[in-house]
Structure 1
Amino acid sequence: MIRVNEIKFRLEEPLSKEAVLRKLSGKLKIKPEMILSYQIVRESVDARKGIQYTYTIDVAVKNEKYLLDKSFVLAPKPFVPIDLREPYCHKKNEEKSDRPVVIGFGPAGLFAALQLARAGLKPIVIEKGEPVEIRTKTVDRFWREGVLNPNSNVQFGEGGAGTFSDGKLTTRIKDPRIEFVISQLIEFGAPNEISYKNKPHIGTDVLKGVVRNIRNHILSLGGEIRFKTEVVDIIMDSQLSEIKGVKCSDGNDLETSHVIAAVGHSARQFYEMLLKNGIKMERKPFAVGLRIEHPQEIINSAQYGMAYKNPKLGAAEYKLTYQTSKGRSVYSFCMCPGGEVVGAASELGGLVVNGMSYQSRNLPNANSALLVNVMPTDLGSDHVLAGIEFQRSLEKRAFEMGGSSYKAPIQLVGDFLGGPTVCDSVSKVYGEWAEVEFDALKPSHRFGTKPVDLKALLPKFIWEAIEEALPEFNKKIKGFSDRRAVLTGVESRSSSPVRIMRNTESLESISLKGFFPSGEGAGYSGGITSSAVDGLKCAEKVIESLLIN
């Protein structure tokens, strides 16, 4: 196979087979009939000088060796040879009586259990929340009625927190396992386009089915999943510093020499239990802030210009970053085109918001978190769990300001900025190419909202940073700081404020042999893809220990 880069299509050009073959043959300087097959591996949209799609395509051709040799004469070389061997292959071995335990069934736990099951190890998964079908009904009830189940919610349950988000698969890590993760998601029901889209997403509605299919496959291989069960303690040999098992809330304790802890970033009681047992953890940076909400059409027009109504383009996204005058980072996070702001609390008396989109991304509003980095030195305490208490205090205050009923506290950008906003036009132009009216924006938070002063919710260093960043973001996205845009609080669960320390080679806890901290909750990933990759890495170490060593 040959990987060909920079195959460009204008927005109005159809992506037909004939057109692709014509462009490929032109790039390779061969006749179209020399091309045996092709596969799109990457698609990106460039809106800087008119809308243009750019593709990376893998091509099989006749007489490939001759073509590659010839390319060294034709400089610059427009393509590169690639090796399409599977980047990670699972192993199947004989059954073992010592069954590994996986705690948590989010992306890290899901993929760890999948690989352990394929290796014949029949893992036992312990999940605090409910199966995704039941969990969906529980979450829907919370969004409609404000009835929170602390054990099964947007944070806890099969699929993890990402199940009720957008199913975003973008990641900054570089790892060959990424292609394997994507291929498995497609195998279990995700759309094939996630294999080549520049910013792939599955969508909450589709992701639920993917998660269910992976679960059923694990079960078919002899795996076991205990829902509505919590690990309340670990059993260990303190003299040898080895894991011996786990104690479960249902009384059915488990003996095992290998535990993968993939608990997610909101497993606060689990952290407290580890601290009690002397497991080494450390504070780490995290971020908190607000959600900002606009009409999706405003974002589309700012990003796409005159072509913003073209249905081929879909709902536009953005990614924004800013460094304040005091050196504080402010950035957009988990941007949800055509989505909604949702309640994401996991503790009674605390309010948290997140963003969510379905696969179609066709709802009228766009939303994104605006986060400010929080350093351990900002916390005023050296306690390893000080970050959790910082998050908890903000969530409690947000709950109270919303009326102690899970209504979300909101504020218009104009009121938050405290004066004339950057965009002071009531309804008109955001560029010479289009007249897009900022229609009345209805906040999307389902259980309702309450207008408040959000500066009374956030610490001064956070609201000052957002206040400074908003006008700067408006320079990049016209209309971003319009006074009618809505801010909603509080977004506090973007990442874990704690890292469970592990050996860089064995991936085991530095305190406890056979105990493998994994994923976001352990502090080693951020997002669905990187968490799945980390789960695979830990599973590999368990497989090596049980089946190879």
Structure 2
Amino acid sequence: MLRINELKLPLDHPETALRAAVLARLGIPDADLIDMSVFKRSYDARKKSAIMLIYSIDAEVRNEAAVLARHAKDQYIGPSPDTGYKFVDAAPPAAGTPRPIVVGTGPCGLFVALILAQMGLNPLVLERGKVVRERTVDTFGFWRKRKLDTESNVQFGEGGAGTFSDGKLYSQIKDKKHYGRKVLTEFVKSGAPEEIMYVSKPHIGTFRLVKMVEQMRAEITALGGEIRFQTRVEDIMVSEENGVRQVTGVRLAGGEEIATRHLAIAIGHSARDTFQMLYERGVYVEAKPFSIGFRVEHPQSLIDVCRFGPNAGNKLLGAADYKIVHHASNGRSVYSFCMCPGGTVVAASSEEGRVVTNGMSQYSRAERNANSAIVVEITPADFPSQHPLAGIDLQRELESRAYVLGGSNYDAPGQLMGDFVAGRPSTAFGSVTPSFKPAVHLTDLAPSLPDYAITALREAFVAFDKQIKGYFKEDAVLTGVETRTSSPIRIKRNDDDYQSLNTRGLFPAGEGAGYAGGIMSAAVDGIRVAEAMALAMAAR
């Protein structure tokens, strides 16, 4: 099998044109092309009136060695790499070794558990929240009735925070072992559309993610794993062995103790009580940067035209996204984050008396608004103290401000973009109707974030109009606040064995531990951690 990269065709090309282009590129007759498949399809929209599709094609040809030799100097033609997943070569654990425990059922935790189960290691998975369908009922109940369940919401429950998101399945992580291909393969096996295997920016959407999570749970249990819901880990047990701290088990909220020497902490970025517990137990934790800002809503039709011009609405292109950044004059970087085409802004609170936003899309991306977080990067130097958990304190302060500004009833504070830049409160919506539920309360957002963030955002919104014409729209809606862009801490681990710097048997994993951001990177980290756990269990 050989691969051809950078094969370009017009957006509206006929189906037959792709095979013809492959034949022309390789310089072979039709009879010599035995089979072909699309490995990746992306697009180049820099020239809006002449958008090009860009293909990577895997082709089976006669006399492959001769064809490759003939194109030896062509950097875009070569052998197809082997992207199949290979399980790590780990011996079975010694008799009597307690089974591994995985805490959390977000993308990372699910893949830790899945790989361990596929290797026959019978993991026990502990999830503080509810099964995904019950969790969905609770989450929609909060949006409609303002009734918050602090253990079952956008942040907590089966599937993790990614369940209520755009379901993006692409990442910029380095992936030499093609773990991302394993993730996509398992997702398709669990019901995801097959197109996620080849489109350049695959996504799934909330409702499809629900079904996939259920299928993955079924496979884990069928392979010998066990998953317990509404089971919160209240403490970890640690003993000293030969001068080294070693995990020996967990204690649940109900008092039950479960022994293990291999514990994956795959909690999300909002498990603040667990962060506190780990810190108090002496696990090495450090503060890390994250970002703060607002959700911004524009008409999706405006973004489509800005990005695709006369090709807006083309089914192959779908709803347009964007990625923008501005380096403000006060030294702060402002950028778009978790952009949701054709989506909604959602209430993502997990603590009483606090308001926080997130973005979500269904697979169709058919809602009237585009939304994205526009955020300002902050570092531990901006936190209220040098304590490792000080970033959590800042998040809580900003979310509490938002709660009060919104009316102290879980409505979110909002403001029109023009009013925000001009420094005046908003009193009425314009052409953009906000999607946030329960509701958006118009006000002045300036008190919701630190002054340096407000200054940088005001400058950025005007500057972004140079990158996307029409972006600075007077009645675009800003909804506050966005504070959960990533974990405010990192549970440091070794680079080689993925175990905590100072606690053997503890495997910090995924987004909450500070090693991922988004579904794909979290799932890939889960695979890596599962392999490390299997190797550690095999050690004598």
TM over 0.5: same fold?
Answer: yes
Match of 2:455, SS state, is helix
1:57 positional shift: 0.9
1:19 positional shift: 2.2
- In structure 1, the partner of 2:283 is 279
- In structure 1, the partner of 2:262 is 258
Aligned partner letter, 2:102: V
1:91 positional shift: 6.5
Pair 1:191-2:212 in alignment: no
Do the aligned partners of 2:101 and 2:260 also contact (CA within 8 Å) in 1?
yes
1:449 positional shift: 1.1
- In structure 1, the partner of 2:518 is 527
Comparing 309-318 with 166-175, greater Cα deviation is found at: 309-318
Pair 1:315-2:319 in alignment: yes
Pair 1:485-2:489 in alignment: no
- In structure 2, the partner of 1:22 is 20
User: 2:396, 2:313 → 1: CA distance?
Assistant: 42
- In structure 1, the partner of 2:446 is 455
1:446 positional shift: 2.1
User: 1:385, 1:297 → 2: CA distance?
Assistant: 42
Pair 1:118-2:118 in alignment: yes
- In structure 1, the partner of 2:486 is 495
Match of 1:241, SS state, is strand
1:406 positional shift: 0.8
Deviations, residues 135-171 of structure 1 (Å, cap 9, x unaligned): 1111110111111100111001111100000111121
User: 2:54, 2:33 → 1: CA distance?
Assistant: 20
Structure-2 change in CA distance of 1:450 and 1:263 (3 Å): same
Q: What's the C-alpha RMSD, in Å, of the aligned pairs? A: 1.7
Match of 2:18, SS state, is helix
- In structure 2, the partner of 1:426 is none
User: 1:57, 1:471 → 2: CA distance?
Assistant: 41
Pair 1:408-2:412 in alignment: yes
- In structure 1, the partner of 2:455 is 464
Do the aligned partners of 2:326 and 2:463 also contact (CA within 8 Å) in 1?
yes
Q: 1:48 aligns with which of 41, 46, 49?
A: 46
Do the aligned partners of 1:91 and 1:118 also contact (CA within 8 Å) in 2?
no
Pair 1:366-2:357 in alignment: no
Q: How does 1:326-475 map to 2 (within 5 A)?
A: 326-418=330-422, 440-475=431-466
Deviations, residues 211-264 of structure 1 (Å, cap 9, x unaligned): 110000001011111101111001110354100000001333210111000011
Structure-2 change in CA distance of 1:346 and 1:490 (3 Å): same
1:465 positional shift: 0.9
User: 1:122, 1:470 → 2: CA distance?
Assistant: 51
Aligned partner letter, 1:52: M
1:520 positional shift: 0.6
- In structure 2, the partner of 1:432 is none
Do the aligned partners of 1:234 and 1:245 also contact (CA within 8 Å) in 2?
yes
Aligned partner letter, 1:469: A
User: 2:471, 2:207 → 1: CA distance?
Assistant: 28
Aligned partner letter, 1:225: I
Q: 2:534 aligns with which of 537, 543, 546?
A: 543
1:69 positional shift: 1.5
- In structure 2, the partner of 1:215 is 217
1:470 positional shift: 0.8
Match of 1:3, SS state, is strand
Match of 1:403, SS state, is coil
Q: 1:200 aligns with which of 202, 205, 211?
A: 202
Q: How does 1:300-311 map to 2 (within 5 A)?
A: 300-311=304-315
Deviations, residues 74-116 of structure 1 (Å, cap 9, x unaligned): x445411123251433669768651100011101100000011
User: 1:316, 1:302 → 2: CA distance?
Assistant: 9
Between the two proteins, what is the percent identity of the paired residues?
Answer: 46
Deviations, residues 107-129 of structure 1 (Å, cap 9, x unaligned): 11000000111111111111011
Aligned partner letter, 1:456: P
Do the aligned partners of 1:92 and 1:119 also contact (CA within 8 Å) in 2?
no
- TM-score with structure 2 length normalisation? 0.95
User: 1:269, 1:380 → 2: CA distance?
Assistant: 19
Do the aligned partners of 2:384 and 2:393 also contact (CA within 8 Å) in 1?
no
User: 2:479, 2:316 → 1: CA distance?
Assistant: 31
Match of 2:217, SS state, is helix
- In structure 2, the partner of 1:423 is none
1:306 positional shift: 1.5
Do the aligned partners of 1:90 and 1:118 also contact (CA within 8 Å) in 2?
no
Do the aligned partners of 1:138 and 1:152 also contact (CA within 8 Å) in 2?
yes
User: 1:229, 1:398 → 2: CA distance?
Assistant: 30
Structure-2 change in CA distance of 1:384 and 1:118 (3 Å): same
Match of 2:475, SS state, is coil
User: 2:26, 2:513 → 1: CA distance?
Assistant: 47
Match of 1:475, SS state, is coil
Aligned partner letter, 2:220: I
Match of 1:461, SS state, is helix
Match of 2:500, SS state, is coil
- In structure 2, the partner of 1:129 is 129
Aligned partner letter, 2:10: R
Q: How does 1:142-161 map to 2 (within 5 A)?
A: 142-161=142-161
User: 2:233, 2:309 → 1: CA distance?
Assistant: 52
Do the aligned partners of 2:90 and 2:538 also contact (CA within 8 Å) in 1?
no
Aligned partner letter, 2:26: L
1:208 positional shift: 1.1
Q: How does 1:50-65 map to 2 (within 5 A)?
A: 50-65=50-65
Aligned partner letter, 1:341: V
Aligned partner letter, 2:332: R
User: 2:204, 2:88 → 1: CA distance?
Assistant: 24
Deviations, residues 431-464 of structure 1 (Å, cap 9, x unaligned): xxxxxxx981110012111001001111101111
User: 1:310, 1:106 → 2: CA distance?
Assistant: 33
Aligned partner letter, 2:9: F
User: 1:383, 1:148 → 2: CA distance?
Assistant: 29
Contiguous gaps of at least 5 residues in structure 2: none
- In structure 2, the partner of 1:109 is 109
1:191 positional shift: 1.1
1:195 positional shift: 1.3
Pair 1:241-2:245 in alignment: yes
- In structure 2, the partner of 1:170 is 170
Deviations, residues 448-494 of structure 1 (Å, cap 9, x unaligned): 11001001111101111111111111111111111010000000101
Do the aligned partners of 1:90 and 1:119 also contact (CA within 8 Å) in 2?
no
Structure-2 change in CA distance of 1:11 and 1:476 (3 Å): same
Do the aligned partners of 1:289 and 1:462 also contact (CA within 8 Å) in 2?
yes
Q: 1:33 aligns with which of 31, 34, 42?
A: 31
1:193 positional shift: 1.1
Aligned partner letter, 2:465: N
- In structure 2, the partner of 1:505 is 496
Deviations, residues 397-420 of structure 1 (Å, cap 9, x unaligned): 101111111111100001001179
User: 2:483, 2:75 → 1: CA distance?
Assistant: 48
Contiguous gaps of at least 5 residues in structure 1: 421-437
Match of 2:213, SS state, is helix
Structure-2 change in CA distance of 1:318 and 1:85 (3 Å): closer
- In structure 2, the partner of 1:296 is 300
- In structure 2, the partner of 1:99 is 99
Match of 2:466, SS state, is helix
